Amino acid sequence: MTLAGKTAVVTGAARGIGRACALALADEGARVVAVDRDDCADTVAEIAAMGGTASAAQCDVADEDAVTDLFATGLEDGPLDILLHAAGVIHEKPLLETSAAEFDRVIAVNLRGSFLVGREAIRQMHANGGGRIILVASDMAYYGRETFSPYVASKHGVLGLARSWAKEFAPAITVNAICPGPIDTDMLGPEHMSPEWRQREMDALLLRRFGRPEEVARLAVFLCGPGGDYITGQGLGINGGSVLV
Ligand SMILES: NC(=O)c1ccc[n+]([C@@H]2O[C@H](COP(=O)([O-])OP(=O)(O)OC[C@H]3O[C@@H](n4cnc5c(N)ncnc54)[C@H](O)[C@@H]3O)[C@@H](O)[C@H]2O)c1
């Protein structure tokens, strides 16, 4: 129980990577505030069934007032120790078919959302004397990719926030970005990606499979615990070998 007595805000916690991180942090003893634009009741119930402690808050991370309210009034579980910010959206379309409104939405959720949630978490941690910030970027924070340019740009920006905040708030607050490669969540499910796309992606990976949300959650737990004591300003890859840099 390396996180006993800690309070963690986890965004994107209704499903996928955020949900797996919420469960894993709670399993290590953290009290979890599960945040999503959707209902997090299932995540909270699962944590309670495990014997953990969690509450749910509904919030659009791109909405400044909603995020400010969440941190001003929504955290009744004690001082904030950990932010795991996983809320995000994907966008796959050729550039010449992409509207400005689509670009704006991806940037608003992925980049502005990271800015807003990170700023309010850091505001509290700065006042309380320290904490751990983990943003979820992507392996696409390291390279360009055709038909994903707004998403790629947003994730380059998320990594830039993490690196800059690490410098601005050291040594009390560590700030890192997890940069996953393809992880088997709804984001890569049939609503967004074809079976042919998924197979091509898997074939191109050194480890020949998509990652599991629980594997990303293990890295998050490591960063939040003693293993993360000397890690800040990094983009940590967990990608099955999609990136060799
Ligand atoms: N799945 C992957 O292959 C992969 C790879 C690299 C990075 N990521 C990143 O990991 C993070 C989690 O993705 P996932 O794969 O779990 O996707 P997911 O679609 O399963 O979950 C994303 C969650 O974010 C929530 N969300 C979306 N917009 C929101 C908003 N405006 N306000 C609050 N909540 C919002 C959704 O409701 C959902 O619960 C994202 O930032 C994503 O870009 C995912």
Structural domains in the chain (count): 1
Tracing tokens 């390279």 back to the chain, one arrives at 143
183 lines ligand 1 (CB under 6 A): yes
140 lines ligand 1 (CB under 6 A): no
The per-residue pLDDT for 76 is: 67
Catalytic residue among 142, 143, 151, 230: 151
For the CA of 180, the closest atom of ligand 1 is 6
**Model confidence band, residue 109 (pLDDT cutoffs 50, 70, 90):** very high
pLDDT tens, residue by residue, 119-170: 999 999 999 999 999 999 999 999 999 999 999 999 999 999 999 999 999 9
Query: Does the model's pTM come out above 0.85?
Result: yes
112 lines ligand 1 (CB under 6 A): no
Which residue minimizes the CA distance to atom 23 of ligand 1? 12
Q: Please give the residue range of the domain that contains residue 75.
A: 7-238
150 lines ligand 1 (CB under 6 A): no
Query: What is the domain-level CATH number for residue 135?
Result: 3.40.50.720
What's the CA gap between 81 and 83, in Å, rounded? 7
The per-residue pLDDT for 7 is: 96
**Does 208 fall in a domain?**
yes
Which residues are CB-neighbours of 64 under 8 A, at least 6 positions away?
A: 116
Per-residue burial over 160-195, b = 16 or more CB atoms within 10 Å of its CB, e = otherwise: bbbbebbeebeeebbbbbbbbbbbbbebbeeeebee
**How far is CA 236 from each of CA 40, 70, 120, 141, rounded to the nearest angstrom?**
27, 28, 23, 11
Mean pLDDT value across residues 106-129: 97
**Does 226 fall in a domain?**
yes
**Does 245 fall in a domain?**
no
106 lines ligand 1 (CB under 6 A): no
pLDDT tens, residue by residue, 166-208: 999 999 999 999 999 999 999 999 888 999 999 999 999 999 9
**Does 244 fall in a domain?**
no
| pLDDT surpassing 70 at residue 245 | no
Residue 92 CA, ligand 1 centroid: distance in Å: 14
pLDDT tens, residue by residue, 41-98: 999 999 999 999 999 999 999 999 999 999 998 676 678 999 999 999 999 999 999 9
**Does 165 fall in a domain?**
yes
Mean pLDDT value across residues 32-44: 98
240 lines ligand 1 (CB under 6 A): no
Which residue minimizes the CA distance to atom 27 of ligand 1? 88
Residue 140 CA, ligand 1 centroid: distance in Å: 14
**Does 79 fall in a domain?**
yes
Residue 88 CA, ligand 1 centroid: distance in Å: 4
Mean pLDDT value across residues 213-227: 98
Q: Is 142 a catalytic residue?
A: no
